Amino acid sequence: MSSIRMQSRLVALVSYGLLAGISFLVLLPLIWMVSTSLKIPAETFTSPIEWIPSDPQWSNYPAAYGRANFNRYFLNSVIVTVIATSLHVAFASLAGYGLAKYRFVGGRWLLVVILVTLMLPLEVIMIPLFLTVKDFGWLNSYQGIIAPHIGDAFGVLLMRQYFLSLPNSLIEAARIDGAGHLRTFFAIAVPLSRPALATLVIFMARETWDEFLWPFLVVSSDDMRTVPIGIQTFARAELSNFPHIMAISTVATIPLIVMFVVFQRQFIKGIQITGLRE
C-alpha cells in the first residue's frame, strides 16, 4: 500500500517538475520580449542575458507608440473586428438554423459545399480574391478587409451542430402558437444558444483581430492599417531599434492575454471544436 502511495507521489513530483520546466521554456521568449522592451538598443544582445534591466526604460512605450499612427491602427482593428464578427455570427447562426431545422432540396448538398471550404486556404485563392476585391474598388477600405471574413464555414457548422441539439418540440410549439419563422428563430433558438454564440463571438473576434495576410494584401495606405499591419510596417521601419519593436509587440499582446484570461473557457472551447486553423 505504502509503496503505491510512494510511487504516485513520485509520479506527481515528476509531472510537476516537467510542467514547470515546460512552462518556463515556453514563456522565456515572452519574458525576453518584455525585458527587451525596457532596455536601450545597445543592451539588447548582452551575454549573459540581463533579464531585469538595471535601468528600465519605461519611456520606450510612449516613444514607440508615438512613432506611428497606432491609435488609428487600433481603431481600424476594432471597427473591422466588430463588424466582421457581428455579420459572421448573424449570418452563420441563420444558416446553421436553416440547415439544422429545415429539410429542403439540396440542403445536404449545401452543407457539404460549405464544409469543403474548410480545406480551401486563403493562400490558394489570394490572387483571384485580391483581383475580385480590386474590381469592386474595395482596396484600402473597411469593406475590402471585412467582406472575405464573413463567409466562414466554422460558424455555420458550429451553430448547426448546436441547433441540432435543440428539441424540435420547442420550436414547433412556438410555430403552433403562431410565431413566424424569423420570430421563432430570434425568440426561441437564439436565447437558447447563448453558450455556442459566446464561443463563436470570441473565436471569430480573435481570428479577425489577429488576421495578417489578408489586410496585408489589400491595405497599402497608412490610415487603413490594422494593428498587425501597423506592427509589421513599424518593425520594418525601426529595423534596429529592438526595444521599441518589443515595446509595441508587448502592447499588442496584452489585450489578447487579458481577453484570454477573461474568456478562457470560450477560447479553449472554440479551439478544441475547430481542431484548428490559424
Among 112, 113, 198, residue whose Cα is nearest residue 162? 198
Quickly tell me which residue has 490594422 as its cell. Answer: 226
H/E stretch holding 171: helix 168-176
> Shortest gap between Cβ of 187 and other proteins (angstroms)?
15
Site string for other proteins, 168-207 (x = CB under 8 A): xx-xx--xx----x---x----------------------
120 binds other proteins (CB under 8 A): yes
DSSP SS3 for 18: helix
28 binds other proteins (CB under 8 A): yes
Q: Beta-carbon neighbour count of residue 45 at 10 Å? A: 9
Which residues within the stretch 56-115 sit at the binding site for other proteins (CB under 8 A)? Answer: 88, 91-92, 94-95, 97-99, 101-107, 110, 113-114
Stretch that binds other proteins, among 55-63, 66-74, 190-198, 256-264 (CB under 8 A): 256-264
29 binds other proteins (CB under 8 A): yes
Nearer to other proteins, 48 or 191 (CB): 48
* Percent of residues in the chain assigned helix, strand, coil, to nearest 5: 80, 0, 20
Q: Beta-carbon neighbour count of residue 107 at 10 Å? A: 13
Q: Beta-carbon neighbour count of residue 31 at 10 Å? A: 12
Nearer to other proteins, 63 or 161 (CB): 161
Which residues within the stretch 145-164 sit at the binding site for other proteins (CB under 8 A)? Answer: 147-148, 150-151, 156, 164
49 binds other proteins (CB under 8 A): yes
